[in-house]
Amino acid sequence: MPIEFTENEMVRLPVSFDLPDGLKIKIAEAITIFSRIENMLIEILWSINNADLKAKKKIARINAKDGLMALRKFFKPPQNSEIVEAKIWDLANELADERNLIGHGTWFVDANGAATVVWHSKFLESDDFVGAEYFPNWRFERYMKRANFILEQLSYTRGILDPI
């Protein structure tokens, strides 16, 4: 099945599924930090729901986007902060989408060494065609910066709720 890139750029053959160590580390770091976000989110939901063991198990099985939605419903933004609040939630949802691409996609490098990812559930265009995306270093850097920000916000929230 041919792979075509967004922005009408075709993959440069040959491709290699033997990923450079630096790319493997970036993928692992991206998945690991998002796991920390999911863990923090679960523990916050346990706290605000005063969950017993049965409820904790149920909460632990929800996906990140549903967890974010549950947390968003719990908090009401202070007056005049709705725009900032909405941007934080949007950022967290974008981060979840990006994590899914990183974690569920198939990675390879093209002939120029460019990191590339294919995720069939996102890029399947037709019966005989699947798209892909380049995933350059700046995109990993942006992801990590955003992930650290969201993790800090959740850590702060958890710190406030701990005494409850």
pLDDT, tens digit, 9 for 90 and up, residues 41-90: 999 999 988 999 999 999 999 988 888 888 877 776 655 455 556 777 88
pLDDT at 1: 38
Name the DSSP class of 131: E
- Strand locations in the chain (E): 3-5, 106-109, 115-118, 124-126, 129-134
Per-residue pLDDT band for 9 (boundaries 50, 70, 90) equals: low
Distance CA(116)–CA(134), nearest Å, equals 4
The total of other beta-carbon atoms located within 10 Å of residue 128's CB is 7
pTM: 0.81
Residue 151's pLDDT band (cuts 50, 70, 90)? very high
Q: Quote the pLDDT of residue 96.
A: 92
Closest CA to 102 of 158, 54, 35: 35
In angstroms, the CA 44 to CA 155 distance is 9
pLDDT value for 159: 86
